Amino acid sequence: MVSGIWTEKYRPTKFSDIVGQEDIIKRVESLTNSLNIPHLMFAGPAGTGKSTLALVVVKQLYGENWRDNYLELNASDERGINIVREKVKNFARTKSIGNVPFKVIFLDEADALTPEAQQALRRTMENYSSTCRFILSCNYSSKIIDPIQSRCAIFRFKLLEKKDIEKVVQRIAINENLTISPESAEILYEGSEGDCRKAINILQSTAAISPTITSELISTIISSAKPKDIKIVLDYALSGDFQKSREKLLDVMLKESISGQEVIKAIQKEIWNLPVEPEIKVKLTEKTGEAEFRMVEGSDPFIQLQALLASFVLAGLGK
């Protein structure tokens, strides 16, 4: 079983099938029904329904002819000015097929376009507005130049809530004859972090092993640090036993094959459950952020985590 098959298999085809983002869905559906959509920009985290909504808009507009009137490009693959000069312009200058007077170009990960390509895109959006509409999808709208933002109706997506992820998971479980306990659904949501695509891929990978989905099986698949293990690491550190804390951390990372950044995330969540003063929790959160920044910049993860544990030891000693 190839990861990602279920993501396409269960991709919504109607506005009513999309979970979460209710306000955005209503507004975009109204625009689509009017057959006169403006240029659109969908901004937000991965796996929250941006690409799916763009596809639903196109299918509702054109019906069976949607492939003839739709061009999808991933800007992170082709991010130079040539993509705008050649592919986008050639598609935009031709007339649409059917009753809708315009075609649709979907630029996925548009924030990866170079500034020069964005400037060229800006002019293309102006010149071909009568025959073409653009839908831009990005994680960070701040990376899109202001002239393009001002030409688009911007919709900001948020991470999906637990009830939304559970709705998708239960739909798949019924169709695929899977058994999922409430505890497993909770672990699955935590592992997905509000990313529906990630949740579906985790579920598919787990179902390939067993149709009975358990919390232990999901934890094995996502290779995330268990809260109880991280709590032991931090308890050792706060009690002043740096050596045992370091050994337990190394044991957790090697046994579970967890990256330094995953450990940092787990530590950050666990800080607020520690029996220490709120002021100390704030300081430790700051130290956690510093360690995470250094790791992102290329520092050795285990050295940074040891330095972080040293901060916990000092905090436990009141220093």
Q: What is the CATH number of the domain that holds 184?
A: 1.10.8.60
Number of domains the chain contains: 3
pLDDT for 79 = 60
pLDDT for position 307? 93
Note whether 216 and 273 are same-domain residues: no
Does residue 178 lie within any of the structural domains? yes
Classify residue 175: in a domain, yes or no: yes
Domain co-membership, 152 together with 269: no
DSSP string, 229-273: HHHHHHHHHHTT-HHHHHHHHHHHHHHHT--HHHHHHHHHHHHTT
What CATH number corresponds to the domain at position 303? 1.20.272.10
Report yes or no on 63 lying in a domain.
Answer: yes
In a domain, 240, yes or no: yes
The predicted structure's pLDDT at residue 77: 65
Positive or negative, the CA dihedral 274, 276, 282, 283 is negative
Count how many Cα atoms sit within 13 Å of the Cα of residue 83 in the half-sphere of its side chain: 24
CA distances from 15 to 27, 29, 37, 103, 133 (A): 11, 7, 15, 20, 19
pTM greater than 0.85 (yes/no): no
Those residues of the chain that have pLDDT short of 70 are 1-4, 75-80, 83, 223-225, 319
Q: Do 232 and 307 reside in the same domain of the chain?
A: yes
> Do 117 and 88 share a structural domain?
yes
**Same-domain status, 243 and 298:** yes
Domain end marker among 104, 131, 156: 156
174-195 exposure pattern, b = at least 16 Cβ within 10 A, e = fewer: eeeebebeeebbebbbbbbbbb
Range of the domain at 127: 21-156
What is the rounded CA–CA span in Å between residue 307 and residue 287?
9
pLDDT for the residue numbered 4:
67
Instruction: Give the pLDDT confidence score for residue 224 in this predicted structure.
Output: 63
Whether residue 16 lies inside any domain: the answer is no
Question: What pLDDT is attached to residue 1?
Answer: 40
Residue 32 lies in a domain: yes
Distance, in Å, from the CA atom of 226 to the CA atom of 39, rounded to the nearest integer, reads: 44
Q: Are residues 294 and 206 in the same domain?
A: no
Rg for the chain (alpha carbons), in Å?
24
Same domain flag for 135 and 170: no
CA distance 289 to 277: 19
pLDDT at site 245: 92
- Co-location of 112 and 92 in the same domain: yes
Contact predicate 47/76, CB 8 Å:
no
Q: Specify if 82 maps to a domain.
A: yes
pLDDT value for 30: 93
Dist CA 135 CA 77 (whole Å): 17
Do 237 and 177 reside in the same domain of the chain?
Answer: no
Q: How far is CA 204 from the centre of its chain?
A: 18
Query: Which CATH number goes with the domain that contains 119?
Result: 3.40.50.300
- Mark whether 26 and 143 lie in a shared domain: yes
Do residues 105 and 177 share a domain?
no
Whether 6 maps to a domain, the answer reads no
Do 171 and 215 reside in the same domain of the chain? Answer: yes
